Amino acid sequence: MSWNKNLLNLLFLSLLLIVSSCGKEMFSASKTAQFDKTSPIVKNTSQSCSNFTHIKPEVDFLFLWDNSTSSVFLNDQTKAALNNTIDLVSSRFDYHMLIAPLIASGNTNAKLITETPDGLSSSALNMKIDRSLAAQTLSSFPLVNHNSENGVERVRELLSLNISNGVFRQGAYTIVVVMSNQDDNSWVDGVAPSAYDRNNYINQKLDQILCLRGHHTSPCAGPSINSQQMRFISIVAHQEDCNGTNTSFDQNFVYKKMSELLYGAYYTGGVSSPTDQAGRSSVDSYNICDISDFTRVFDGVNNSIQDQVIAHKYNYWPVATSGAASIDPAEITVRKNTGDTYPLLQEPVPPGSNGFSFTNAVQTQNTRFLPTPGESFTGYLIKLYGNAQVTYPECMTVTTQTPKEWFGYVNIQNKPVESSIILKINGQIVSQNSTNGWELIKLNGQPRYYQSFNIKIQGPGNYSPAYPAVNKSGYFLKLNGNAVFSNGANIEVNFLPSGT
């Protein structure tokens, strides 16, 4: 029995020896590793362009159709060409189109095709026909056997007769089209006509037509339409008998010269001269001898008019939508596609300044102020001043970034043993001290628990809460001095959880 008792004592002593030889850590709680990462600074770049309003330019046409018995123009191809031109014109322009026989007097047999009847007097409305009847109208022109042709005077007559009735409008484009297989020979007087007589006739008629056009350098009496641009487009033969292939054609001089002179005539009042005929040897005159496809005979007419746009102008520009992340005003960059950049200005902005101001709040504003207020936007906007304002066709690139945020506290989710805490920020150990390290927030000597605590601060040395808040629950280390951290930091905390 004593032997058994001695054996038990021996086993108990052995167990104590084994226990005493084991390290203390074998029976201590294991350390917890906690990781966190703050949101990085986010940059955003957006580019958008200004807009415009397309308006159909007012274009008034006068078509003089050769109706002599020798004419070759009254055929199915030229009728198809006229219909094709009307189709093109109707889609692009606010048009009036007066179609009249070349050899006639006044408005006899003249017909008017218009997009709308607005501004037309009763006499003009009496000439109005549906556009579908254009080709049929050509067939109704009476054929005239004649020895004299006065096409330039006919242009002057029809323009002057149809200003007061609204056919030819103030400030519109005015396009005269004369088609003839002969030439204006009304200047011939006597048995010995000369080039001198012909030039006198051309210059006289040119001056009369320019007075009707307006923006003329010479003094004028009588009505004027102040045309935005007037053209005299001639579709005639540039060679005698079309090089022997068609003896009904006479080589042209008068109509061709009128095309050239009217195209090159100077405009007063700041009206721009046309430029689309640059490089052509026969300005605004088309050689009927070279046209094999009569359906393309009016291509020059269609290409002579520039579409008009009203440029929009902006004094506000979108930066971000209403649900976008916060924006740092100091980091906004504004650049036009011209390469110009503009500075941030502080309100109130002095007169004559060039740049932008920014209100860091969601707004609803009309971004456009000309030609009318419009293009409303809800979100974050910059206000533009001086030459920073945007005019079509300019584009603007705006780059923003989220504000730099500062954090003065580190969250520990479980109650820690203070002596076990190891803090690393961006891989660097931060020591425990009150100068540039951490200290555990306590209450009555114990780590203090917070249900909701904002770890964002205004900046180094300023521990006032910053918003929008980043709230966390648990226990907290306060960071002192240069231990505070900002966007994109990697946080690692190792600690032993406290059992109490």
139: phi then psi, degrees, rounded to nearest 5: -70, -20
Domain regions of the chain by residue span: 43-51+312-401, 57-308, 406-495
Query: What percentage of the chain reaches a pLDDT higher than 70?
Result: 87
The lowest-confidence range among 188-202, 206-220, 455-469 is: 188-202
Instruction: For residue 79, give the nearest of 151, 140, 158 by alpha carbon.
Output: 140
Give mean pLDDT, residues 49-71: 85
Give mean pLDDT, residues 327-337: 94
155: phi then psi, degrees, rounded to nearest 5: -60, -50
DSSP annotation of 369 reads E
Reported as a single tens digit per residue, the pLDDT across 376-396 is 999 999 999 999 999 999 999
**CATH fold for domain 57-308:** Rossmann fold (3.40.50)
Whether the per-residue pLDDT at 14 is higher than 80: the answer is no
Two structure tokens written together for 219: 């003094």
**More confident position, 291 or 73:** 291
pLDDT tier for residue 368 given thresholds of 50, 70 and 90: very high
Whether the per-residue pLDDT at 18 is higher than 50: the answer is no
Whether the per-residue pLDDT at 293 is higher than 90: the answer is no
pLDDT of residue 312: 94
Reported as a single tens digit per residue, the pLDDT across 228-262 is 899 998 988 888 877 666 666 778 899 999 999 99
Reported as a single tens digit per residue, the pLDDT across 112-155 is 999 889 999 999 999 999 988 887 888 788 888 877 889 999 99
Highest mean pLDDT among 13-27, 123-137, 289-303, 352-366: 352-366
Query: What Rg, from alpha-carbon coordinates, does the chain have?
Result: 44
pLDDT of residue 138: 80
Two structure tokens written together for 214: 């307006």
pLDDT of residue 61: 92
Distance in angstroms (rounded) separating the CA atoms of residues 233 and 304? 10
Whether the per-residue pLDDT at 13 is higher than 60: the answer is no
Whether the per-residue pLDDT at 288 is higher than 90: the answer is no
Whether the per-residue pLDDT at 311 is higher than 70: the answer is yes
Whether the per-residue pLDDT at 45 is higher than 50: the answer is yes
Length of the chain in terms of residues written: 500
Whether the per-residue pLDDT at 180 is higher than 60: the answer is yes
Is the model's pTM score more than 0.75? no
User: Residue 66 in contact with residue 179, Cβ under 8 Å?
Assistant: yes
* 3-class DSSP state of 161: helix
Whether the per-residue pLDDT at 83 is higher than 80: the answer is no
Distance in angstroms (rounded) separating the CA atoms of residues 341 and 319? 15
Give mean pLDDT, residues 165-194: 88
Query: What percentage of the chain reaches a pLDDT higher than 90?
Result: 59
Distance in angstroms (rounded) separating the CA atoms of residues 185 and 10? 147
Mean pLDDT across the chain, nearest whole number? 87
